[in-house]
Amino acid sequence: MSVPKSAGAPQGAVTLKLDSMSTPESARKLQNKDSRFLDGSPSESPDLEKTKGITLFQTLVHLLKGNMGTGILGLPLAVKNAGILVGPLSLLVMGLVACHCMLILVRCAQRFCQRLNKPFLDYGDTVMHGLEASPSTWLQNHAHWGRRIVSFFLIVTQLGFCCVYIVFLADNLKQVAEAINSTTNNCHNNETVIPTPTMDSRLYMLAFLPVLVLLVFIRNLRVLTIFSMLANISMLVSLVIIAQYIAQDIPDPSQLPLLASWTTYPLFFGTAIFSFESIGVVLPLENKMEDARHFPIILSLGMSIITALYTSIGALGYLRFGDDIKASITLNLPNCWLYQSVKLLYIIGILCTYALQFYVPAEIIIPFALSQVPKRWALPLDLSIRLALACLTCILAILVPRLDLVLSLVGSVSSSALALIIPPLLEIATYYSEGMSPLTIAKDALISILGFVGFVAGTYQALYELIESEESLPFSNSTTFVQ
């Protein structure tokens, strides 16, 4: 049975396998290794121990940790893009739909485990077997593409997380550096902080690259687990401090629009679904439980807590800062050492999480590449691919330095496919031949269509905003804070 491990962050990951026709021995061995991840943030994944089974409470804790990442910090701006009424209501609906899609995935995986007498199936294999069970001969003949598509979207999602992390690191370190001379111990005085100009934020991204390269050269998942623990502690402390600050001194909300422009709503969708991206972790968690029969209840409870937390942080953050809200709420914190330490803690947490999120695409791509070369070239090729992928994420972050748009773009492109589009279609493919009610088919079709509309609209709007932006350094990189 596959025993998953993971790391704190955005959005979840799963045990992955390449097509058996092209999978080298190293990749086949990988199927029996501990799973890896992802965490939305994020969106971002749990640390599962090698035990005989985890309890209900441990499962709940891992599920909650698997959702804590950078995505939650962008939700106040997402609420601004939707409106103070429509935003929180949309988050509630998206949380409900995301939870339902996770339950669909679990139910389909359990069905094929029973049918094939297997102890565990990952996301990709579940989709492949779902296509094999569909009434369409063409889908049956091309079922292996289902696994490849899931692997592709996981690679895009994980590398997208890495790009988001680099932009986040640069934005926050730049703000700390520029305001350090005026940072005080008094967090209550109303004052305007005039930052000392420093280097371009893109140079900060390049400065982080050597550290990130050293981190991705770590190939042992056990070592990465240490970074996972450090990341979880750092981000948890930071989140508590942020929550207690934004809940204070909320101004009159009557000036905030109930419904924002329809042109910005797709950006809300992308950021929100990015934050809810933890569907990849549900199967490893369900597999590791002592009594998996209770998993649907734990999943529903965990997603209810996550949805309530996301809605609260998003709404309170927008109420607290209004139109001044930035791409990450950490950029709105006061210029005193307590809240500057929050940024530094989150920087440490995200820096550690980068290597954990990077682990997934590396373990999908590298085994296949190694099968194409002699064994003596294995290590140099392994390190070269890791170096190239790390540089790629840094280059993409430099080309698209707006944190809010990177969040929305990654969420719209890959997270919507994994969390909203594929699971309902999987349910239809799995159960159609056994008989499904027209209402269930209509429900699944509606969810997939809405997910696809969000995919198209969110991607278009994010790309449009990037193309139309005339500022060399966007507002998300501004470190001026007026309280």
pLDDT one-digit tens code per residue, 283-309: 877 887 887 788 889 999 989 988 998
Res 179 pLDDT > 50: yes
Q: Identify the residue whose tokens are 């889908």.
A: 139
CATH number 1.20.1740.10 given to 25-482: yes
pLDDT of residue 361: 85
Show the DSSP H helices in 51-143 as ranges. Answer: 56-65, 75-82, 86-116, 123-132, 137-141
Q: What is the mean pLDDT of residues 80-87?
A: 92
pLDDT of residue 210: 92
Q: What percent of the chain has pLDDT over 70?
A: 81
pLDDT of residue 85: 92
Res 2 pLDDT > 80: no
Cβ 438 vs Cβ 419: under 8 Å: no
Instruction: Measure the CA–CA gap between 14 and 104, rounded to whole angstroms.
Output: 16
Q: Which helix (H) or strand (E) holds 193?
A: strand 192-193
- Of the listed ranges 103-112, 325-334, 470-479, the one predicted with least confidence: 470-479
pLDDT of residue 82: 92
Convert the pLDDT of each residue in 407-466 to its tens digit.
888 888 888 888 899 999 999 999 988 888 999 999 999 999 999 998 999 888 888 887
**Phi then psi dihedrals of residue 34, to 5 deg:** -65, 140
Q: What is the mean pLDDT of residues 105-124?
A: 89
Q: Is the dihedral of CA 74, 75, 79, 82 positive or negative?
A: positive
pLDDT of residue 189: 54
Q: Identify the residue whose tokens are 């947490």.
A: 349
Cβ 149 vs Cβ 127: under 8 Å: yes
pLDDT of residue 197: 64
Instruction: Measure the CA–CA gap between 182 and 186, rounded to whole angstroms.
Output: 11
Q: What share of the chain is helix, strand, coil (3-state, %, to 5)?
A: 70, 0, 25
Q: What is the mean pLDDT of residues 144-163?
A: 88
pLDDT of residue 52: 55
Could you tell me how many residues make up the chain? 483
Higher pLDDT, 392 or 358: 392
Higher pLDDT, 398 or 1: 398
Instruction: Measure the CA–CA gap between 87 and 91, rounded to whole angstroms.
Output: 6
Model confidence at 46, pLDDT cuts 50, 70, 90, reads: very low
Instruction: Measure the CA–CA gap between 141 and 132, rounded to whole angstroms.
Output: 8
Cβ 312 vs Cβ 91: under 8 Å: no
Convert the pLDDT of each residue in 226-239 to its tens digit.
777 777 788 788 88
b/e code 26-54 from CB counts within 10 Å (16+ = b): ebeebbeebbbbbbbbbbbbbbbeeeeeb
Instruction: Measure the CA–CA gap between 84 and 203, rounded to whole angstroms.
Output: 36
Q: What is the mean pLDDT of the chain?
A: 79
3-state secondary structure 312-347: HHHHHHHHHHHHHCCCCHHHHCCCEHHHHHHHHHHH
pLDDT of residue 48: 39
Higher pLDDT, 16 or 342: 342
Q: What is the mean pLDDT of residues 98-114?
A: 91
- Of the listed ranges 190-194, 322-326, 449-453, the one predicted with least confidence: 190-194
Cα-based distances in Å from 306 to 66, 317, 452: 10, 16, 24
Q: What is the DSSP string of 203-258?
A: HHHHHHHHHHHHHHT---HHHHHHHHHHHHHHHHHHHHHHHHHHTSS---GGGS-S
Model confidence at 221, pLDDT cuts 50, 70, 90, reads: low
Higher pLDDT, 209 or 177: 209
- Of the listed ranges 97-106, 218-227, 315-324, the one predicted with least confidence: 218-227
Q: What percent of the chain has pLDDT over 90?
A: 24
Q: Is the dihedral of CA 338, 344, 350, 352 positive or negative?
A: negative
pLDDT of residue 185: 64
Q: Identify the residue whose tokens are 């499904």.
A: 436
Instruction: Measure the CA–CA gap between 438 and 215, rounded to whole angstroms.
Output: 51
pLDDT of residue 34: 38
pTM across the whole model? 0.75
Model confidence at 66, pLDDT cuts 50, 70, 90, reads: low
Res 331 pLDDT > 70: yes
- Of the listed ranges 232-246, 368-382, 393-407, 457-471, the one predicted with least confidence: 457-471
pLDDT of residue 145: 92
